[in-house]
Amino acid sequence: MKENIPGVQYIKSKNRGSKYCLSRRFSKSGKDISSSSSKKLSDEEKFIQILEIYKKNIIDTKQEQKIMNLNIDKLKQYI
């Protein structure tokens, strides 16, 4: 995606795998929620994970409708 998703951050550590994180300011639980940081998964697979996390855990007032309307199953075919 060319635009950033509000509340989602890409994190790349030096000696670990990358991951995406949903900010605690945007999650219903009030805690950061991350995708897997496994090196076995591609960044695309981790992005799909964070989209699923976003849809389940985003605060209703902070939802982006274009993200909520994405069909994740269709996106998985490109991985």
Number of structural domains (the chain) is 1
The per-residue pLDDT for 78 is 80
Q: Does residue 1 fall inside a structural domain? A: no
Least Cα distance to 67 among 24, 19, 22, 28 occurs for 22
**Full-model pTM:** 0.83
Q: Does residue 25 fall inside a structural domain? A: yes
Q: Count CB atoms within 10 A of the CB of residue 52.
A: 11
The per-residue pLDDT for 2 is 59
Q: Which domain holds residue 16?
A: 8-76
If you ran DSSP here, which 8-state letter would residue 69 be given?
T
Contacts of 41 by beta carbon, 8 Å cutoff, 6+ apart: 17, 49
Q: Does residue 31 fall inside a structural domain? A: yes
Q: Does residue 54 fall inside a structural domain? A: yes
14 vs 28, residue with greater confidence: 28
pLDDT in tens, 22-72: 999 999 999 999 999 999 999 999 999 999 999 999 999 998 888 888 888
Q: Does residue 3 fall inside a structural domain? A: no
Can you tell me the distance from the alpha carbon of 65 to that of 60, in angstroms, rounded to the nearest whole number? 10
Q: Does residue 50 fall inside a structural domain? A: yes
Does pLDDT of 15 surpass 60? Answer: yes
Q: Does residue 17 fall inside a structural domain? A: yes
Q: Count CB atoms within 10 A of the CB of residue 51.
A: 20
